[in-house]
Structure 1
Amino acid sequence: MRDNPWDGGLTFVAPDTTTYDQEAADQIGLDPSLVYKTLLVSIDTKTLVVAVVPVGRQLSLKALAKAAGGKKANMAEKALAERGTGYLLGGISPIGQKRRMDTFVDRSAEALHRLFVCAGRRGTEIELSPADLQRATNARFYDLVS
């Protein structure tokens, strides 16, 4: 299905792309519903949380705020996202962040045998099961896309 010389499920994409997750889906030759993007969101302007959603879908900020027990959600500023995770924008992984944040994964992932998320560097994706992602991040599954 994919031509990957690397062990451990890592797949590399051209580093000069600006749509990292979509580019990864295209280059790996996968249905975009298997590739998930990692988004950092501020809940009630005080708490950062992680949202993991399919690349072809739009995060519902209202749904995420509700899932996180807040009233309002906004996309985190670039500097705040990078400082909070230790990753550069476009390379933010839901795994291995600088400090653990509440993580919410779109419920669509539960039906998958495997999915791909950013491995912590622009253009690098890692393949894992939704259960492994949940264990690694203490994630909760919710309906997060509109």
Structure 2
Amino acid sequence: MAKEHDHKTNAVRALDASGLAYEARFFDCPEALSGTEVTRMLGLDPDRVFKTLVTQGKSGEHYVFMIPVACELDLKKAAAAVGEKAMAMVKSRELLPLTGYVHGGCSPIGMKKLFPTTIDETAALYERIAFSGGRIGCQIEMSPVDLARIVPLEHADLTVV
């Protein structure tokens, strides 16, 4: 049987230290699933489950965007939201050294460096949202208002229509 500390990710440790209310949900998952597969597995509304995407602007700066799992990031809208001329997704192999997280387990909380983070404006519609808890098989549910207390967030329309 796994001990509780076996589940502690950087994100969970940061949330524990913050004193903010959250719920961490752990589930068996041998490999990264799509966000929509995770929502089905956990019985969650896909509109309130957000994926964390890491990008690089034309300037070379890195940015984090959070969008509903069933949606696609509009790179032009993302670039405009942070004042960049162009935006590209970070390659999977660059994710771990850059953030400390793997593809499918990337959380906006507890990255190696705090990058400018923008969440899709639809997050404001929900009392609670869910997002990766920092490893494959972990989802965190919490208020988007509380999330903004631990990760400074901007809000913008970010998805492809």
Same fold (TM over 0.5): yes
How far apart are residue 65 of structure 1 and its match?
0.3
Q: Which runs of 5+ in 1 are unaligned?
A: 1-5
**1:86 touches 1:97 (CA, 8 Å); kept in 2?**
yes
TM-score, length-scaled by structure 1: 0.90
- Flag the structure with higher helix content: 2
TM-score, length-scaled by structure 2: 0.82
**2:79 touches 2:87 (CA, 8 Å); kept in 1?**
yes
Residue type of the partner of 2:46?
A: P
In the alignment, which of 119, 136, 146 is matched to residue 150 of structure 2?
A: 136
After the TM superposition, which residues 60-139 of structure 1 pair with which residues of structure 2 at under 5 Å, given as runs? 60-139=74-153
Write out per-residue CA displacement over residues 88-133 of structure 1, whole angstroms, 9 at most, x where no aligned residue. 1111100111111000000000111100010001120000111111
How far apart are residue 20 of structure 1 and its match?
4.2
After the TM superposition, which residues 16-27 of structure 1 pair with which residues of structure 2 at under 5 Å, given as runs? 16-27=30-41
- Segments ≥4 residues shifted beyond 6 Å: none
How far apart are residue 8 of structure 1 and its match?
4.6
Q: Which runs of 5+ in 2 are unaligned?
A: 1-6, 8-20
How far apart are residue 45 of structure 1 and its match?
5.4
Write out per-residue CA displacement over residues 11-35 of structure 1, whole angstroms, 9 at most, x where no aligned residue. 1233224324223211111110111
The total of aligned residue pairs comes to 141
**2:52 touches 2:67 (CA, 8 Å); kept in 1?**
yes
Change (3 A) 1:79 1:45: farther
Cα RMSD (Å) of the superposition?
A: 1.8
**1:21 touches 1:118 (CA, 8 Å); kept in 2?**
no
Identity value in percent: 33
Which position in structure 2 is the counterpart of 1:37?
Answer: 51
Paired with 1:8 and 1:137, the residues of 2 have a C-alpha distance of 14
Paired with 1:80 and 1:21, the residues of 2 have a C-alpha distance of 20
SS of residue matched to 2:123: helix
Residue type of the partner of 1:62?
A: K
